[in-house]
Structure 1
Amino acid sequence: MSFATTDLCDDHPELLEDGRLLVLPPVFKHWGQHRRFCGPITTLRVFEDNALVRATLEAPGHGHVLVIDGGGSLRRALVGGQLGLLAQNNGWAGIVIDGCVRDTDELNACAVGIRALAAIPQRSARQGVGERNGRISVAGVAVSPDDWCYADADGILIARQKLA
């Protein structure tokens, strides 16, 4: 996994121009041990409810990146330490959350990359409400299942295909 988001942008100006390569706004903070991660995307849309997040992370990740449209909520955490461990142990490359995390010390001990808007101590509801593998919006950027996510210290890119 040798890439830099800056190089991907420089090497693919035509993809940036026609919208096949998108840059997420610089609003995400980093947790977890992996600052750099990439993979095909699995999507979730949930709002202040992480039951589907848990169910998804309990399954093998096969190097995918879980991208969660949490509606930008800053009121409840969608991922905490237990889910960070599930992501690590089940082979997920990373998690990008348009929402919050908690248990940040535990998340920082996990061998996975995690990006989210903020940390907050309040846990989410667990009703199982949401949608898996649909087109979502993260920080105003459209994301579809099987798009590719590339994340490093400079930012997060969403590509419509795997980039060389």
Structure 2
Amino acid sequence: MGIATADLYDERGDDLASIPTQFLDLGGRLAFDGLVRTIRCHRDNGLVKQVLGTAGHGAVLVVDGGGSLESALMGDLIAASAVEHGWAGVVIVGAVRDRVALAALPLGVKALGSNPRKSAKDAVGEVDVPVVIGGVVVRPGAHLWADADGVLVER
């Protein structure tokens, strides 16, 4: 990512939405960007594992976990698979686990927090549907930029 989100917003503010949710930076890459894929799920990371196990081509997976911090939607094994498959990053409205290992991976990871408890693995949820985060609609195929200042997405 060659430009800071603050500068990008100054240049293209009308075309971009700034997600107001305050995420923690938990991956080894603080700045990342790419085309969006989405998942909506609740305390079940089966779809997260499936999608991040496919070719990412530099995309960013946005996971609407409903803000639940009761169990982790991604850990080190799934994140390592994302790196192996060419994903730029993951934004999770929920929890992750294995924070130390995530910080060592060349993957952007933003999440609300962490919890060592693993989630269900039934693959219940929806893939590539619009999700709403902090009042901002995030659509599959939109471009997303993230860095230490926050997250921007094309309107």
TM-score band w.r.t. shorter chain: over 0.9
Q: 1 CA distance for matches of 2:64 and 2:13?
A: 27
Q: 2 CA distance for matches of 1:33 and 1:114?
A: 8
Among 88, 91, 102, the residue aligned to 2:86: 91
The residue type paired with residue 87 of structure 2 is W
After superposing on structure 2, the runs of 4+ consecutive aligned residues of structure 1 that deviate more than 6 Å are none
Equivalent residue runs for 1:79-118 within 5 Å = 79-118=74-113
Q: 2 CA distance for matches of 1:26 and 1:69?
A: 12
Q: 2 CA distance for matches of 1:107 and 1:92?
A: 14
Q: Give 1:26 shift.
A: 4.3
**TM-score, with length taken from structure 2:** 0.96
Q: Give 1:147 shift.
A: 0.8
Q: Give 1:159 shift.
A: 1.1
| Unaligned segments of structure 1, at least 5 residues | 16-20
- What is residue 39 of structure 2 aligned with on the other side? 44
Q: 2 CA distance for matches of 1:141 and 1:119?
A: 23
SS in 2 for 1:150: strand
Among 117, 122, 130, the residue aligned to 2:125: 130
- What is residue 149 of structure 1 aligned with on the other side? 144
**TM-score, with length taken from structure 1:** 0.91
Whether 1:5 and 2:5 are equivalent positions in the alignment is: yes
The residue type paired with residue 50 of structure 2 is A
Q: 2 CA distance for matches of 1:26 and 1:133?
A: 21
Q: 2 CA distance for matches of 1:140 and 1:47?
A: 19
The residue type paired with residue 4 of structure 1 is A
Q: 1 CA distance for matches of 2:129 and 2:139?
A: 7
Q: 2 CA distance for matches of 1:123 and 1:146?
A: 29
Whether 1:54 and 2:49 are equivalent positions in the alignment is: yes
**What is the root-mean-square deviation of aligned Cα atoms in Å?**
1.0
| Unaligned segments of structure 2, at least 5 residues | none
Identity within the alignment, %: 43
- What is residue 73 of structure 1 aligned with on the other side? 68
CA contact (8 A) 1:68 1:138 kept: no
Residues 24-59 of structure 1 deviation map (CA, whole Å, 9 limit, x = unaligned): 114100111110000000010010000000000110
Q: 2 CA distance for matches of 1:55 and 1:108?
A: 22
